[in-house]
């Protein structure tokens, strides 16, 4: 009687072993969490080591310590909507059709990485800022801000239905993201895009962070009073400077919109005494720029502080739910941002502060903790990377490259040594001239070409890391200029942009002296 029982137990044990081996042969595909901010710059993340030591960001720093920090992640068109379209499609603006923020609407019928993940068994969701005009496609769930969104008590669009929320938008987006993770289809791996409005202009802090810096006087960037001497008119004739463009809403002489009476009372209790002191002092010239710079730093960095806190909340949730080990976290922004460098805020330029965007990837068991990558990577690579992580074939018409080899500590022999860049939007909102160029590890060759300029500049980050001088006409750089002209021509052919962009690429405002568009 005992032998059959022993045999039965042996058979069951053998079957169990087979099932275990089979399960090990087909590991669960990784989850993907994309933590994305708007206008978050490397100078504001302590892991990037800005010498001004503007802010401590312990949660983003944790991602860098537990994963890989990319030190040369570049954008292809430094502005919000176009960057988002590039991430979704893995294509440059001229191929995905989204050139600017003023008159473009994303074509949701085109191929995107969320659609491909969804078709291959992933639960997909986007929560927060969308900013592409059309409704999201390729997502099982979406809950988005309309347009730019607002910082307080935001209306949102949930799967086509208008809803209202109470509170601070950065906190709300995290709340909604955690709720979706709790209630998702747990039989599938997930891909969640948590996309913050912050720290986009007008940089409205959470009430809990008013006065967080105790009226600190911030170290000034060396180029705060850049006079653009010897530079193209395209560089000097802008409308994005602390000396000329700062509005009452930026300065907090007007409160953030849509606050409740109770919120407004707490807001005014902080800002009004300081605003009154400003009025009495009545600073002018450089003193006025310095006042604006410090007000801007308080507000912008407070917004980043809230983003970092909420990234911490997301990490804590993953830890508590046992999801951390099988979730790849990608933390980035749609481009960099100026924190007073060249006297500017905003982005747009091919210059380093707006061209370079943060990127940290934590992939347990794949990325070596605390590793730093120096290769030229781009937002153009994100969609391909997500597909590769999921084991989904990357379509041949996508223009970037998967970052998976780099995450594994391997650099392919043919990895890019240069990147093509093209910015279009003009003349509103900041009168930054359209320009294109090539970026290498050391140089940038830039062509400003519309509407009243036709100038080339050569920037040498090694000789001039502040990028305040053009070396284009320096005879010592003649061979470099020749080689970079050939390279930008090669890249334009490679990315399939060799002709004149369509008029719509620049926006819906006429250039000076140009006839207004005919209304149909």
pLDDT score recorded for residue 354: 98
pLDDT score recorded for residue 16: 46
Between the alpha carbon of residue 173 and those of residues 63, 113, 303, 342, the distances in Å are: 20, 22, 14, 33
pLDDT > 90 fraction of the chain, expressed in percent and rounded: 93
3-state secondary structure of 91: coil
What's the average model confidence in pLDDT over 420-444?
98
Partner residues linked to 468 by β-bridges: none
- Model pLDDT for residues 47-66, shown as the tens digit of each residue: 999 999 999 999 999 999 99
Residue 377's contacts (CB-CB under 8 Å, 6 or more residues apart) are 70, 72, 73, 74, 359, 403, 406
Taking a C-beta distance cutoff of 8 angstroms, is the pair 36, 311 a contact? no
pLDDT score recorded for residue 515: 77
pLDDT > 70 fraction of the chain, expressed in percent and rounded: 94
User: Quick one: pLDDT band at residue 4, thresholds 50, 70, 90?
Assistant: low
pLDDT score recorded for residue 518: 58
pLDDT score recorded for residue 516: 73
Between the alpha carbon of residue 208 and those of residues 36, 54, 309, 364, 380, the distances in Å are: 22, 19, 12, 33, 36
Taking a C-beta distance cutoff of 8 angstroms, is the pair 331, 63 a contact? yes
Least Cα distance to 337 among 312, 308, 303 occurs for: 303
- Domains, the chain, in order of start with CATH, read 29-201+307-417 (3.40.720.10), 207-291 (no CATH), 422-506 (3.30.1120.10)
Taking a C-beta distance cutoff of 8 angstroms, is the pair 403, 377 a contact? yes
Name the average pLDDT for the chain.
95
Element (H, E) at 320: helix 285-320
What's the average model confidence in pLDDT over 219-243?
97
What's the average model confidence in pLDDT over 359-388?
98
- Model pLDDT for residues 276-329, shown as the tens digit of each residue: 999 999 999 999 999 999 999 999 999 999 999 999 999 999 999 999 999 999
- Model pLDDT for residues 16-36, shown as the tens digit of each residue: 444 444 444 446 899 999 999
User: Quick one: pLDDT band at residue 372, thresholds 50, 70, 90?
Assistant: very high
The secondary structure of residue 29, as a DSSP letter, is P
Integer Cα distance of 65 and 43 in angstroms: 17
- Model pLDDT for residues 86-114, shown as the tens digit of each residue: 999 999 999 999 999 999 999 999 999 99
Taking a C-beta distance cutoff of 8 angstroms, is the pair 344, 228 a contact? no
Residue 373's contacts (CB-CB under 8 Å, 6 or more residues apart) are 68, 69, 70, 71, 72, 406
- Model pLDDT for residues 146-178, shown as the tens digit of each residue: 999 999 999 999 999 999 999 999 999 999 999
pLDDT score recorded for residue 375: 98
Position 238 pLDDT exceeds 60:
yes
User: Quick one: pLDDT band at residue 517, thresholds 50, 70, 90?
Assistant: low
Q: What is the pTM of this model?
A: 0.94
Position 185 pLDDT exceeds 60:
yes
Tokens 């780099």 correspond to: 406
- Model pLDDT for residues 463-497, shown as the tens digit of each residue: 999 999 999 999 999 999 999 999 999 999 999 99
Cα 60–chain centre separation: 14
pLDDT score recorded for residue 40: 98
pLDDT score recorded for residue 512: 83
- Model pLDDT for residues 448-459, shown as the tens digit of each residue: 999 999 999 999
């Amino acid at each position: 009687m005992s032998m059959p029982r022993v045999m039965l137990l042996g058979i069951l044990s053998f079957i169990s072993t087979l099932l275990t081996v089979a399960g090990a042969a087909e590991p669960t595909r990784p989850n993907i969490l994309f933590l994305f901010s708007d206008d978050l710059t490397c100078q504001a993340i302590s892991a990037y080591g800005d010498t001004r030591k503007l802010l401590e960001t312990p949660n983003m720093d944790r991602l860098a310590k537990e994963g890989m920090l990319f030190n040369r992640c570049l954008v292809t068109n430094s502005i919000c909507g176009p960057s988002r379209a590039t991430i979704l499609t893995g294509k440059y603006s001229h191929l995905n059709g989204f050139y600017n923020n003023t008159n473009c609407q994303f074509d949701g019928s085109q191929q995107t990485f969320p659609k491909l993940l969804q078709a291959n068994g992933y639960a997909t969701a986007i929560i927060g800022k969308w900013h592409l005009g059309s409704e999201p496609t390729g997502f099982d769930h979406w809950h988005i801000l309309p347009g730019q969104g607002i910082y307080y008590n935001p209306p949102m669009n949930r799967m086509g239905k208008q809803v209202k929320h109470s509170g601070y938008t950065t906190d709300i987006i995290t709340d909604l993201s955690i709720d979706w993770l709790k209630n998702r289809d747990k039989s599938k791996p997930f891909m969640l895009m948590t996309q913050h409005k912050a720290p986009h202009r007008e940089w409205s802090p959470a009430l809990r962070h008013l006065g967080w810096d105790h009226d600190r006087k911030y170290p000034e960037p060396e180029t705060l009073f850049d006079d653009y001497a010897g530079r193209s008119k395209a560089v000097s004739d802008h409308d994005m400077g602390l000396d000329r463009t700062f509005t009452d809403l930026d300065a907090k002489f007007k409160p953030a919109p849509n606050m409740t009476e109770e919120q407004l009372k707490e807001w005014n209790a902080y800002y009004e005494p300081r605003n009154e002191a400003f009025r009495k002092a009545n600073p002018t010239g450089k003193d006025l720029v310095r006042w604006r710079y410090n007000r801007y730093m308080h507000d912008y960095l407070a917004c980043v502080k809230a983003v970092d806190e909420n990234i911490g909340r997301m990490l804590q949730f993953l830890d508590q739910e046992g999801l951390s080990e099988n979730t790849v976290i990608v933390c980035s922004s749609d481009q960099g941002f100026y924190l007073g460098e060249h006297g500017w805020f905003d982005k747009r330029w091919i210059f380093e502060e707006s061209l370079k965007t943060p990127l940290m990837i934590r992939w347990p068991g794949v990325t070596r903790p605390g590793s730093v990558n120096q290769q030229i990577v781009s937002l153009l690579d994100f969609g391909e990377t997500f597909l590769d992580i999921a084991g989904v074939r990357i379509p041949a018409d996508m223009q970037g490259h998967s970052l998976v080899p780099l995450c594994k500590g391997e650099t392919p022999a043919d990895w890019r040594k240069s990147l093509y860049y093209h910015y279009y939007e003009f003349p509103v909102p900041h009168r930054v001239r359209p320009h294109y160029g090539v970026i290498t590890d050391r140089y940038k060759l830039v062509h400003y070409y519309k509407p009243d300029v036709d100038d080339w500049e050569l920037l040498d980050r090694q000789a001039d890391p502040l990028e305040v001088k053009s070396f284009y006409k320096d005879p010592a750089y003649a061979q470099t200029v020749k080689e970079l002209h050939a390279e930008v021509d090669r890249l334009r052919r490679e990315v399939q942009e060799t002709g004149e962009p369509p008029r719509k690429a620049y926006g819906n405002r006429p250039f000076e002296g140009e006839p207004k568009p005919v209304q149909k």
